[in-house]
């Protein structure tokens, strides 16, 4: 069982930031990534549709005999995590809970924090619910930032237009005196340099790093950790392969991957 891969999925390419963090944290683990590039984005879909898509991807990953599954998509984590856990015979980890736990660890005595995410994630209220369930008195401002994903995917993360959009979204958070901000979308870690230039006093909570740490703890608790010294391999699967995929792969992963395969899901 320990040699079996970890399954990671996202609505598209953004989850590669999570995959990269996992590969760095757990280099001995075999990893399988599925990006639903044919049906991206999930952020504008209904909850029912996101759940249906997520369960279909679960079936695919289980056929690959994964030992645990990481839902590297804030929208799917917000809407489909319960359904996935009910159906899956292996552990399923979402991105919301690790992000909230990291916030509580970092925020200390602060009274208010923020999360920036897609419209669907914000509408779901998943971060506020998860925070409330901890019993913490910290209040959370949830801010939808729908323009950030296309700006990242168009290679404009360091352009002036992205700076203008960030100011539009984050100036109000800054005026409220908020200092701790959860990056509630897998694309947003790529914007950390730009955000830090504009708001050097912000403490950014990167869910990709947190979920890698949470996964490591889960594997150890379930006695599923891979063998030390083993160099894990990474296999990427996509529901559609577009012309810009090689550029996106390097953007999100920081390196090229040898094994990329298009998968027909039988829709």
Alpha carbon distance 227, 109 (integer Å): 40
**Helix (H/G/I), strand (E/B), else coil: 196:** helix
Residue 185 is a catalytic residue: yes
Q: Which helix (H) or strand (E) holds 68?
A: strand 68-71
What does the alpha-carbon distance between residue 175 and residue 266 come to, in Å, rounded to a whole number?
49
Question: Do the strands 68-71 and 92-93 form a parallel or antiparallel pair, or are they unpaired?
Answer: parallel
Give CA–CA dist 208/71, Å, rounded. Answer: 11
Catalytic residue (one of 22, 31, 72, 73): 73
CA distance 150 to 134: 33
**Beta-carbon neighbour count of residue 219 at 10 Å?**
20
Q: Contacts by 148-151 with C-beta closer than 8 Å and gap 24+?
A: 148/116, 148/185, 148/187, 148/188, 148/191, 149/14, 149/41, 149/43, 149/118, 149/185, 149/187
| 145 belongs to the catalytic site | no
> Partners of 181 in the beta sheet?
114, 204
Of 117, 144, 185, 190, which is the active-site residue?
Answer: 185
Beta bridge partners of residue 116, listed in sequence order: 143, 183
List the catalytic residues.
73, 185
């Amino acid at each position: 069982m320990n040699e079996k891969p970890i399954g990671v999925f996202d609505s598209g390419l953004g989850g590669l930031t999570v995959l990269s963090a996992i590969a760095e944290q757990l280099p001995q683990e075999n990893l399988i990534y599925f990006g639903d590039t044919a049906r991206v984005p999930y952020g504008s879909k209904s909850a029912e549709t996101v759940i249906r898509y997520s369960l279909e991807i679960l079936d695919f990953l289980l056929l690959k005999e994964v030992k645990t599954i990481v839902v590297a998509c804030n929208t799917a984590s917000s809407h489909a995590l319960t359904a996935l856990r009910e159906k899956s015979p292996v552990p399923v980890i979402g991105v919301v809970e690790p992000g909230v736990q990291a916030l509580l660890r970092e925020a200390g005595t602060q009274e208010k924090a923020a999360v920036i995410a897609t419209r669907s994630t914000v509408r779901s209220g998943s971060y506020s619910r998860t925070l409330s369930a901890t019993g913490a008195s910290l209040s959370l401002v949830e801010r939808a930032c729908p323009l950030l994903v296309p700006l990242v995917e168009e290679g404009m993360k360091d352009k002036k237009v992205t700076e203008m959009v960030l100011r539009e979204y984050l100036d109000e958070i800054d005026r409220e005196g908020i200092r701790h901000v959860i990056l509630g979308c897998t694309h947003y870690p790529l914007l950390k340099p730009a955000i830090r230039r504009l708001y050097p006093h912000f403490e950014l909570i990167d869910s990709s790093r947190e979920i890698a740490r949470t996964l490591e703890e889960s594997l150890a608790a379930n006695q599923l950790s891979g063998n030390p010294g083993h160099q894990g391999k990474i296999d990427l699967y996509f529901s559609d392969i577009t012309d810009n995929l090689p550029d996106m792969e390097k953007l999100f992963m920081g390196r090229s991957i040898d094994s990329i395969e298009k998968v027909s899901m039988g829709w």
